[in-house]
Amino acid sequence: MGRYLLRRLGQMIVVLLGATLILFACLFVIPGDPVGSLAGSERSRDPAVVEQLHKRYGLDKPLIVQYGTYVNKLVHGDMGEDYTQRRPVAEILGPKLVNTSKLAIAAIVFDAVIGAGVGALAALKRYSLWDTVVTLITTILVGFPTFVIGMLMLNLFAVQLKWVPVIGDPSDPVQVVLPAITLAIIDAALVARLMRGTMLEVLRADYVKTAIAKGVPRRQVLLKHVMRNSVIPVVTYIGISFGSLLGGAIITETIFNWDGIGMAMSTAIQQQNNPIVVGVATWGVAIFVLLNLVVDLLYAMLDPRIRLS
Amino acid sequence: MAKSEESAAGAALLQVDDLQVEFVTRDGVARAVNGVSYSVGAGETLAVLGESGSGKSVTAQAVMGILDMPPGRITGGRVLYRGQDLLTMPEEQRRRIRGRKIAMIFQDALSALNPVFSVGWQLGEVFRVHEGMSKKDSLRRAVELMDRVRIPAAAQRVNDYPHQFSGGMRQRIMIAMALALEPDLIIADEPTTALDVTVQAQVMDLLAELQAEYNMGLILITHDLGVVADVADKIAVMYAGRIVETAPVHELYAGPAHPYTKGLLRSIPRLDQKGQDLYAIKGLPPSLLHIPDGCAFNPRCERAADRCRAELPLLQAVLDEDGADLPGRRSACHFWKETLHG
Amino acid sequence: MTDDKTTTTPVSGKVVPQQRKDRTPAAGSAEPAIKVVKEWQEVWHRFAANKLALVGLVLVVGLLLTAVFAPLIAPHDPLKQDLMNTLKPPSGEHLFGTDILGRDQLSRVIYGSRIAVIVGVVSIVLTLLIGVVLGAIAGYYGRFYDTLTMRVADVFFAFPLLIGAIIIITVTGRGVWPVVLSLAIFGWATVARLLRSSVLSAREMDYVHAARALGAGHARVILRHILPNSIAPVVIYGTFNVGTAVVAEASLSYLGVGVSPEVPEWGNMLAAGRGFIGVYDYMWTLPSLAVVLTSLGFIFVGDGVRDALDPKLR
């Protein structure tokens, strides 16, 4: 396990370095030179001032040095200043990340508990009315984009039923429910389908027959032998879906006016506040890579065939 | 017809009586077991022989209570363990018998062992479930069991996972698991089929040795006549969900009383046949959805007559040339006499 | 439903059979070997056995026809503003009302199918092209190429699709082609991984060894022997993901980094309708329906393609 962890950590660092290269390249070619705008409009700008600013921000150095500086700053949490408020990007995004985390964690819990639970129940009660209804709903639900779900939810619960305000308040735990369901429900449908399929397969597996033949009570067969094997693909899937979850968070937060990094990115796009855009992207990539590592380790813990190979 | 079959070894440990099992499939109802009766006593080995689809494994699964239901369903018959019908018994009572009194060994140990638990955990589970043993104690017993089936370095390997063992070692673990509570009866479903030939003999010997030691009944399900000869006391040959012939093992080899058995014996390669073409029964086993009328074997049988296509032959007593009853021998062929003596 | 309805309008109803007549002889004149015909018949048979796949096919064909014949179907010019008639509820003139600039909603949704088809199809074709070439090289040549390609793939894989696309478009500016490009840039890695693993297993097949032993060159071995036997998972992935690409494109436009705001496009329409939830719902319901049906259509077809090409995967 230790060696596996080390290998995965090494891979992660390589991936993160590669990703920073792409992000750096984007920062470098992004239209609207930050120094230029600091030095005033293009016509009135004083070449001496521009040069001085270039020097101050290290833009006169070779690219490789600039990249080094950029990575070094990034490691220390410095992502530069934004254009509109002239405040450090990390400082602006920090509190918003907490709000996004609340949303994301609620969504993942929903996926794992409701999605897997619904799927497991459908598998156990195969061919029942419940199974049919679950299959039908999940089949249709996977075709719904997040923004459509969000607008339908907002219309129904905030506008028509007035159960929640249109602008979400992240400090109210009740209000996380609607955006979290919006963010989670498509993946939950997929998780439910995956769980149902996997579990039907596991229920037919020889080792389940062995357990019954050993005289293990049915409850224990289900909870230990069946569940343990059925959750493995589900855990992997939830790991893969983090990417779409982060993308979905941008949309969901925009719809529900949820003050997280997703809405910050969406607002920054409108204002062409590029440091924020790149900042959110950087964090997004870092979080995605880190969570994937966590899922891989979880996967290895659950499946000895991976851990010991 | 099952009554007289109660073995000479005393009251039967397990008696299957006119068992019927079918599977509901998309294409119709497949009749997998059509009135099978057999019995096995303590210390006795019954070999159930047949091709895949003959119903031999389904019968065993029905006895064990591990049939997939649905699509399978038991439509008739009884399964008596020491006189009690397992099929009508409350589930909890039956569960206590499973693993403790009747245990099973599966064909493919790799798929029959749970990939995510250590072998020690899985062996120990038997003790934890049936005897309420602690985790630690059950693990100690697991090591003892692994020693018992001669797995080298058992104490070091008890926490290893199934995929880390060789095929032969995994099958030894399955045997150990079945033996754990010294059951009265073991059902072994093709226990050596998935193994290399050299390992097959070792595993079979181990099984026979342990059976003798604990005086267990053994139902050995196989398609391999070679495996049967050395270990079995009596044989039941199955075809298309029915028993077509039963006999003490040596008598069956000496003179089969059913054309199907005769065909099976002829298709074993023998050294003295060197240079000759190997015999094979023509045709294929029937689809269980459309079992032929009359004798199910008639389309493949060299002796088939009009009567075989019209009238289902029942298992009947087999007599020697002087007309005396041959104990334990039955054949479901209209022409058993011609087959045995002709 | 939009897609269904439009194909049954009299205009397109006349056009469809005509097009079929043109195509049948062309396909017949190729005279492929009987075996191939049989194989494809079987593939079609497996596809058609999946009822949802047939529903999906109807939706997808409906979308394609709508896109091709948009000028004939659309009752109005999708760009024509009518500031005297803004935010009008449905009427005989405007079946689904007008937007904030008085443009006909139905016509804009109909024209929106063109962006969906272009972005969906072109971005997936591009994704598959990059992924197949790099995946085949990695899987076939192995060693250095394999390591390099797969590590690069890992890096692109680390970007959630939407986030990756946003930063690319921040650099390039909005437009159809930046969207197409960015979806391909952050999509190829999955395809490359898929193809690499099937090439790895195909490479060890006896017929490939045989072809090599008979002196076939690398290019020939890859193109004639390995690719045809390892392409199925990629084709399945591609079909499924046309819908994903359409949704991603609409999401980008919704966030203001897709196609230009004046272009009739579903994400743009939804973004415009966001402020009118509960007030003027025609702004977002029709384009929502269009996105959902398109997305579902490709998912269902993908399901059928999977059944048809790889029954084992069911």
Render pLDDT for B103-138 as a digit per residue (tens, 0 to 9): 999 888 888 999 999 999 999 999 999 998 899 999
Closest CA to B184 of B207, B206, B215: B215
- Between B23 and A58, where is the model more confident? B23
- Closest residue in B to A214 (Cα) is B99
pLDDT tens column, C26-59: 333 444 456 667 778 888 888 888 889 999 999 9
Contact state of B108 with A206 under an 8 Å Cβ cutoff: yes
Which of the two residues, C26 and B62, has the higher pLDDT score? B62
What mean pLDDT is predicted for residues A65-82? 84
Does the domain formed by A97-270 have CATH 1.10.3720.10? yes
Average pLDDT over residues B174-184: 89
Look at A212 and B97 and tell me if their CB atoms are within 8 Å: no
Q: Which residue has the tokens 């692109």?
A: C156
Q: How confident is the model at residue A113 (pLDDT cuts 50, 70, 90)?
A: very high
- Enumerate helices (H) and strands (E) in chain B, giving the number of each: 13, 12
Task: Flag whether pLDDT at B160 surpasses 70.
Answer: yes
Residue with tokens 């040959």: B237
Residue written as token pair 């296509």? B309
Closest A-chain CA to C147:
A11
Asked if C295's CB is within 8 angstroms of A144's CB, the reply is: yes
Give the closest of A212, A217, A225 to B114, CB-based. A225
User: Do the strands B102-105 and B72-81 form a parallel or antiparallel pair, or are they unpaired?
Assistant: unpaired
Q: What does the pLDDT read at residue A32?
A: 53
Listed by number, the residues of chain A in 212-231 with a beta carbon closer than 8 Å to a beta carbon of chain B are 212-218, 220, 225, 228-229
Distance CA C285, CA C264 (A): 15
Distance CA(B84)–CA(A42), nearest Å, equals 98
Query: In the CATH scheme, what is the code of domain C56-313?
Result: 1.10.3720.10
Which of C159, C179, C190 has the highest number of chain A CBs within 10 A, making it the mutation to test binding with A? C159
pLDDT higher than 50, residue A124: yes
**Of all helices (H) and strands (E), which one includes residue B36?**
strand B28-40
Of residues B33 and B8, which shows the higher confidence score?
A: B33
The residue with tokens 């503003």 is: C81
pLDDT at A79 over 50: yes
CB contact under 8 A, A215 and B61: no
**Closest-CA residue to C251 (of A265, B303, B50, A109):** A265
Q: What are the residue boundaries of the structural domains of chain B, listed by start?
A: 1-92+233-270+279-342
Q: B81: which strand partners?
A: B14, B84
Instruction: Identify which of B68, B104, B113 has the shortest CB distance to residue A207.
Output: B113
With a CB-CB cutoff of 8 Å, which residues 130-149 of chain A face chain C? Answer: 139-140, 142-148
Q: Which of residues 177-206 of A touch C (CB under 8 A)?
A: none
- Give residue C313's pLDDT: 53
User: Residues near C154 by Cβ (< 8 Å), separated by ≥ 6?
Assistant: A11, A14, A15, A18, C189
- C-alpha distance from residue A102 to each of A4, A240, B83 (Å): 30, 20, 63
User: Is any Cβ of chain A less than 8 angstroms from the Cβ of C160?
Assistant: yes
Distance between CA atoms of C141 and C143, rounded to whole angstroms? 7
Give CB contacts under 8 A, 24+ apart, made by A90-97: A90/A279, A92/A264, A92/A276, A93/A261, A93/A264, A93/A276, A93/A279, A93/A280, A93/A283, A96/A259, A96/A260, A96/A261, A96/A263, A96/A264, A97/A260, A97/A261, A97/A283
Whole-angstrom Cα distance, residue C171 to residue C188?
20
Looking at residue A99, what is its pLDDT?
A: 92
CB B255 within 8 A of CB B340: yes
The bridge status of strand B325-331 relative to strand B316-319 is: antiparallel
**Contact B103/A at CB under 8 A:** yes
Per-chain mean pLDDT for chain A: 85
Interface of A with C in 44-83 (CB under 8 A): none
Residue B229, classified by CB atoms within 10 Å of its CB into exposed (0-12), middle (13-18) or buried (19+), is: middle
Q: What is the pLDDT of residue B19?
A: 92
Distance (Å) from the alpha carbon of B236 to chain A's nearest alpha carbon: 23
Lowest mean pLDDT among A43-47, A50-54, B216-220, C85-89: A43-47
With CA atoms as reference, report the closest residue to A126 among B111, C52, C312, B68: B68
Buried b (16+ CB within 10 A) or exposed e, B89-112: beeeebbebbbbbbbbbbbbbbbb
Contacts of A22 in chain C (CB under 8 A): 155-156, 159
Fold of B1-92+233-270+279-342: Rossmann fold (3.40.50)
Sequence spans of domains, chain C: 56-313
Domain residue spans of chain A: 2-83, 97-270
Interface check for A156 against chain C (CB to CB < 8 A): the answer is no
**How many Cβ pairs closer than 8 A exist between chain A and B?**
79
Which subunits have 3 or more CB–CB pairs within 8 Å of chain A?
B, C
Average pLDDT over residues C90-115: 85
Residue C64's H or E segment, with its range, is helix C51-68
Helix or strand run (H / E) with residue B234: strand B234-239
User: Structure tokens of A99?
Assistant: 């709000």
Angle formed at CA B302 by CA B301 and CA B303, multiple of 5 degrees: 90
- Comparing C74 with B58, the larger pLDDT belongs to B58
| Residue C7, pLDDT above cutoff 90 | no
**Mean pLDDT estimate for chain B:** 85
For residue range C155-212, list pLDDT tens digits in order: 998 899 999 999 999 888 889 999 999 999 999 999 999 899 888 888 777 778 888 7
Phi and psi (nearest 5°) for C145? -60, -40
Measured distance CA(A277)–CA(A254) in Å, rounded: 14
Do the Cβ atoms of A209 and B112 come within 8 Å? Answer: yes
Give the closest-approach CA distance of A212 to chain B in angstroms: 7
Confidence of residue A131 (pLDDT cuts 50, 70, 90): very high
Q: Write down the pLDDT at residue B285.
A: 85
Helix A274-302 and helix A261-271, axial crossing angle in degrees, nearest 10: 150
ipTM of the complex: 0.86
Q: What is the residue whose two structure tokens read 């699709």? A: C161
Contact A92, A264 (CB under 8 A): yes
Using pLDDT thresholds of 50, 70 and 90, give the confidence band for residue A252.
Answer: very high
Q: Is A287 on the interface with C (CB under 8 A)?
A: no
A82/C51: higher pLDDT: C51
Return d(Cα B4, Cα B23) in angstroms, integer.
Answer: 30
Instruction: Please count the residue pairs, one from chain A and one from chain C, whose beta carbons lie less than 8 angstroms apart.
Output: 134
> Distance from C141 to chain A by nearest Cα, in Å?
22
Residue C126 has pLDDT above 90, yes or no: yes
pLDDT > 70: percent of chain B: 96
The answer to whether A304 faces chain B, any CB pair under 8 Å, is yes
Distance of CA C276 to the CA centre of its chain: 30
CA of A164 vs chain C CAs: smallest distance (Å): 14
The tokens describing B131, both together, are: 């005897």
Q: Are B105 and B45 in contact (CB under 8 A)?
A: no
Q: Which residues of B touch A300 (CB under 8 A)?
A: none
Q: Is pLDDT larger for residue A86 or for residue B14?
A: B14
CB A175 within 8 A of CB A167: no
Identify which of A213, A218, A220 has the shortest CB distance to residue B64: A213
Which residue in the set A26, A140, A289 is minimally distant from C158, CB to CB?
Answer: A289
| Average pLDDT over every residue of A242-249 | 89
Which chains does C contact via 3+ CB–CB distances below 8 A? Answer: A
Least Cα distance to C167 among A53, B113, A30 occurs for A30
According to the model, what pLDDT value does residue C8 have?
A: 30
> Using one digit for the tens of pLDDT, what is the confidence trace for A196-232?
999 999 998 999 999 999 999 999 999 999 999 999 9
Distance from CA of A228 to the nearest CA of B (A): 8
Q: C196: Cβ–Cβ under 8 A, 6 or more apart, which residues?
A: C135, C136, C138, C139, C146, C149, C150
Note whether C250 contacts A147, CB cutoff 8 Å. Answer: yes
pLDDT cut 90: percent of chain B above it: 25
With cut-offs at 50, 70 and 90, classify the pLDDT of residue B1.
Answer: very low
Put simply, whether A117 touches C (Cβ < 8 Å) is no
Q: CB–CB of A303 and B115 under 8 A?
A: yes
Q: What is the dihedral of CA B175, B178, B184, B187, to 10 degrees?
A: -70
Q: What is the pLDDT of residue A43?
A: 58
CB contact under 8 A, A232 and B99: no
Inter-chain touch A229–B115, beta carbons under 8 Å? yes
Does the structure show a pLDDT above 90 at C297?
A: yes
The H-or-E segment that residue C62 falls in is helix C51-68
CA B261 → CA A118, B247, B286, distances in Å? 52, 11, 16
Chains B and C make contact, 3+ CB pairs within 8 Å: no
Question: Checking DSSP bridges between strand B14-25 and strand B28-40, what pairing results, if any?
Answer: antiparallel
Tokens of C26: 């062309």
Cα atoms in the 13 Å half-sphere on the side-chain side of C81: 5
Residues of A in contact with C257 (CB under 8 A): 269
| Partner-chain contact A22 C173, CB within 8 Å | no
Are C307 and C292 contacting, i.e. CB atoms less than 8 angstroms apart?
no
Q: What is the pLDDT of residue A138?
A: 92
Q: Is C107 left (phi over 0), alpha (psi -120 to 50) or beta?
A: alpha
Give chain B positions within 8 Å (CB) of A206.
106, 108, 111-112
